[in-house]
Structure 1
Amino acid sequence: HTTTLNPVVGETNDGFLSDIRRRAVGEEQVVAALEAAASGPVAEGCVGAGAGTVALGYKGGIGTASRVVDVAGTPCTVGALVQTNFSGTLRIAGVPLPAEELLTDDPAEPVGNSCMIVVATDAPVDGRQLGRVANRAVFAMRGVGADYAQGSGDYAIAFSVHDPATGGLAADDELSPLFAATMDAVEEALINSVLAAETTVGPEGRTAHAVPIDRVRERLARAGVV
């Protein structure tokens, strides 16, 4: 029986592509989004809060990924959802993919650089340990080339749906696999958010271009990682 709900709301500044002062999202849009919510695969790229974001010189968006990992002898799932809106130089598997080299047009520069990350797990961890998980989630941004620029409000929240009645908590020295899985899932989600995004033109004509997938494949092949 639920007695209270405590919503957590996050945001990033997508002013490069969006008219953020217009307050286009009102009660009607919120109700429609809640009614349309469903289980199943999560849409990625230019959807929802990712419609107006820019990342690493390309069009950013929503990305997701997950891992299954053993924590304290129990298989656990770690899922990551990201909204990418930050600067830097895209890297995949360590290979630099600069927007200024791969695009025929100028790279997009985000306004109010930020990345929002949500990590969900069923691992047997408490609030203090989840804080450590959230820290690792932000660390994963460096793997895809984030520069953590001044003004970049990058943050992560983490929660667990573990039922304490089913068993005790994991010890701190059992958390390294969970940390590694979190960083892997977040890094993949960040990459997915960019690769799934499409070229988008904002109301003032400013454009964020999609990653040119063929050129990315060429560079990765040349580097011997695919």
Structure 2
Amino acid sequence: MRARDLGVAPGIFAPGKHNAITDVADVRVGQVTLKEGDTVRTGVTAIFPHSGNAYRSRVPAAVHVGNGFGKFIGSTQVNELGELETPILLTCTLCVWKAADAMAAWMLDQPDMHQVRSLNVVVGETNDGGLNDIRARPVTAAAVRTALESAASGAVQEGSVGAGTGTVAFGWKGGIGTSSRVLPASLGGWTVGVLVQSNFGGVLQVSGAPVGRELERYAFQNAVALQGNGQPGAADDRGDGSIIIIIATDAPLGDRNLRRLASRGMMGLGRTGSSASNGSGDYVLAFSTAASVRRAFDATRLETSELANEQMSGVFQASVEAVEEAIYNSIFMATTVSGNGKTVEAIPLDRVREVLQRYGIAPPKH
């Protein structure tokens, strides 16, 4: 179930209709889940900034690197030019280059693209090599095309789907999660939507409740038990992994303020109990869909109308809330997955509810 079904509603702002990144008008998501035999558990998730040609009509964008242990194809040009010119793909670590090549081929084959000689495809990843035979690099061009061509608005599938099929978060099954916030009219009425691919660790807390500690599954568990002269715990991880966070908004922001917005994604991540460990690649990409900041590929001048710095605080707050909730959704919506000789269990939601009730966060179940 989603976080709100457990009584978990981070922050103060209300979500949009679907409580998803697609609440930002014209943003679309497509996903392909790959489960083959006993070994392949991976997939592709595609995010479109709008329904037009992303190369011809570019949105301003920025990437914030919380911890750079990862592969994020195209991120340097995004930050150099401050814009996206393709959809965003998420997949598994050893599949990023295959996914990038497949999206480049798909883009170059689109109408009005036959004279294009340079293309900055954007592909992020997390490592699902526990549940997935990642060395087989099972993501195909056909899977990428299907994810791109199936992209749609509306509700977004969450949990063990798409690029989240084989991921793990806080020792339980992770996956794809999404959430949104709509600012009050007095703060501009803007919508902020988030999608995450969670595959990281730490000490899970939910709205401040120490869920990981109470369920006795958290990073450094063995070290803590041994320090107290007790028995070693069941887990001995260091919170490694990765997370990709995508933030979309219809607030008219240029790439400078989008870089500031992206950095706030780390605050939402921190609220869930991550410390951005050494082995965790933590990346946040933010973009604006507003027509007033859109950039034509062949523009000779940019005349845009952007939100002023003083109007950013509400957007920052909304992004922190939506990132936090999207991460909870990615875990609470995930199902137990077996693959590659390993099983990762879904988090036991009944026990989570008990912890939340004990700490005064969730209402009693009726």
1:81 to 192, 195, 213: 195
1:39 deviates by 1.9
Q: Give me the whole-angstrom Cα distance separating, in 2, the residues matched to 1:100 and 1:54.
A: 19
1:183-194 maps to which residues of 2 (within 5 A)?
Answer: 183-194=320-331
1:108 deviates by 9.4
Identity %: 46
TM-score of the pair, normalised by structure 2: 0.57
User: Deviations for 1:194-222, whole angstroms, at most 9, x for unmatched residues?
Assistant: 0000111121x222111101001111111
User: Deviations for 1:39-87, whole angstroms, at most 9, x for unmatched residues?
Assistant: 2100000000000110111110000000011588521100000000111
Structure 2 equivalent of residue 113 of structure 1: 241
1:175 to 288, 312, 316: 312
1:90 deviates by 1.2
1:39 to 153, 177, 194: 153
**SS of residue matched to 1:146:** coil
Q: Give me the whole-angstrom Cα distance separating, in 1, the residues matched to 2:193 and 2:173.
A: 23
Q: 1:97 to 1:200 in 2, by over 3 A?
A: same
Q: 1:70 to 1:171 in 2, by over 3 A?
A: farther
Structure 1 equivalent of residue 254 of structure 2: 126
Equivalent residue letter for 1:179? F
Q: 1:100 to 1:210 in 2, by over 3 A?
A: farther
Q: Give me the whole-angstrom Cα distance separating, in 1, the residues matched to 2:191 and 2:346.
A: 31
1:48-197 maps to which residues of 2 (within 5 A)?
Answer: 48-70=162-184, 73-98=187-212, 101=215, 113-164=241-292, 168-197=305-334
Equivalent residue letter for 1:26? T
Equivalent residue letter for 1:170? L
Equivalent residue letter for 1:212? P
Q: 1:32 to 1:65 in 2, by over 3 A?
A: same
Equivalent residue letter for 1:218? E
1:38 deviates by 2.1
1:19-38 maps to which residues of 2 (within 5 A)?
Answer: 19-38=133-152
Deviates more, 1:29-38 or 1:189-198: 29-38
Is the 8 Å Cα contact of residues 196 and 327 (structure 2) preserved in structure 1?
Answer: yes
| Greater Rg by CA | 2
**SS of residue matched to 1:83:** strand
Q: 1:179 to 1:12 in 2, by over 3 A?
A: same
Equivalent residue letter for 1:25? V
Q: 1:223 to 1:32 in 2, by over 3 A?
A: same
Q: Number of aligned pairs?
A: 224
Is the 8 Å Cα contact of residues 190 and 251 (structure 2) preserved in structure 1?
Answer: yes
Q: Give me the whole-angstrom Cα distance separating, in 1, the residues matched to 2:252 and 2:185.
A: 8
Over aligned residue pairs, what C-alpha RMSD do you find?
A: 2.5
Structure 2 equivalent of residue 200 of structure 1: 337
Structure 1 equivalent of residue 230 of structure 2: none
Is the 8 Å Cα contact of residues 201 and 240 (structure 2) preserved in structure 1?
Answer: no
Q: Give me the whole-angstrom Cα distance separating, in 1, the residues matched to 2:240 and 2:274.
A: 14
Q: Give me the whole-angstrom Cα distance separating, in 2, the residues matched to 1:211 and 1:99.
A: 13
Structure 2 equivalent of residue 213 of structure 1: 349
Q: 1:180 to 1:134 in 2, by over 3 A?
A: same
Is the 8 Å Cα contact of residues 133 and 179 (structure 1) preserved in structure 2?
Answer: yes
Equivalent residue letter for 1:54? V
Deviates more, 1:6-15 or 1:46-55: 6-15
Q: 1:102 to 1:211 in 2, by over 3 A?
A: farther
Is there any run of 5+ residues in structure 2 with no aligned partner, and where? 1-51, 57-84, 87-120, 218-233, 295-303
User: Deviations for 1:89-108, whole angstroms, at most 9, x for unmatched residues?
Assistant: 111110011278367xx569
